[in-house]
Amino acid sequence: MSNLDERLRQVQERTATAARRAGRDPAAVTLVAVSKRKPAADILAAARLGQLDFGENYVQELRTKQEDPALRELPLRWHYIGPLQRNKVRHIVGNAALLHAIDSVSLLDEIEKRSAQAGLQSACLLQVNLSGEATKSGCAPADCQALARHALALPHVALRGLMTMPAPCDDPEESRPVFVALRALRDQLAERLATTQLTELSMGMSDDFEVAVEEGATLVRVGSLIFGARI
Ligand SMILES: *Cc1c(COP(=O)(O)O)cnc(C)c1O
């Protein structure tokens, strides 16, 4: 077994174990393998082991990998997890299963416009900045309700839930309150906006995905633990 095989299996196993520990069905958690800055050969190797969900941060890189002859015919689901610029929306609409990091009305409006033109619906998550760092992307928790209300009114946007990215830390337990808060915010929005559509919580990365699963993550985004450190 290659290193990648071994690492992928370990992450899959640890994800399932964390789910069971929390009394959850392991099938309710999707592992998104974050393949940014990693070659198509690594994606192919992971896909051969049944890993079909991949996360990318750069629109051009995602498109290039999608069109790679080695990957083109595979039933892969591409997740766009990075901050999205308005002028890149037209290149990603129709090419990603889920947009994880939407954080403004102008971005939502552009996704609506381009999705309508393409005759499809784009599945989106709202990124929430719960650590309060000024430089980080994501909407403020206080703005989340207005943003969600706006998204729910757009016919070509399918709002599916929330995403967050805690500040980097040494101890995964430091992320736990952030994951608890994202889930609470989702529950509050679902009630106030009377929607059952907000089923997804995208939270947890290499350093803290097990804690995220314990707190209700339905999508974990794990990169370096599977593919090795990025240069
Ligand atoms: C890079 C990245 C990840 C994966 O990070 P690792 O620490 O390598 O697991 C997850 N989510 C987002 C938004 C990222 O940019």
Decide whether any atom of ligand 1 lies within 6 Å of the 137 Cβ. Answer: no
By the 10 Å C-beta count (0-12 exposed, 13-18 middle, 19+ buried), 112 is classed as buried
Decide whether any atom of ligand 1 lies within 6 Å of the 221 Cβ. Answer: yes
Ligand 1 atom with least separation from CA of 224: 8
Q: Cβ(224)–Cβ(183) under 8 Å?
A: no
Q: Give the model's pLDDT for residue 135.
A: 65
Distance between CA atoms of residues 192 and 216, nearest Å? 20
Q: Cβ(39)–Cβ(56) under 8 Å?
A: no
Along the 231 residues of the chain, how does pLDDT read in single tens digits? 579 999 999 999 999 999 999 999 999 999 999 999 999 999 999 999 999 999 999 999 999 999 999 999 999 999 999 999 999 999 999 999 999 999 999 999 999 999 999 999 999 999 999 987 766 789 999 999 999 999 999 999 999 999 999 998 899 999 999 999 999 999 999 999 999 999 999 999 999 999 999 999 999 999 999 999 998
Q: Which two tokens stand for residue 175?
A: 């992320």
Ligand 1 centroid – CA 223 distance (Å): 6
Four-point Cα dihedral 174, 164, 167, 60, nearest 10: 140
Q: Which two tokens stand for residue 214?
A: 């314990």
Q: Give the model's pLDDT for residue 18.
A: 98
Q: Cβ(173)–Cβ(212) under 8 Å?
A: no
Decide whether any atom of ligand 1 lies within 6 Å of the 34 Cβ. Answer: yes
Residue 186 identity (one-letter amino acid): R
Is the whole-model pTM more than 0.95? Answer: yes
Decide whether any atom of ligand 1 lies within 6 Å of the 204 Cβ. Answer: no
The phi and psi torsions of 56 (rounded to 5 degrees) equal: -130, 155
Ligand 1 centroid – CA 193 distance (Å): 30
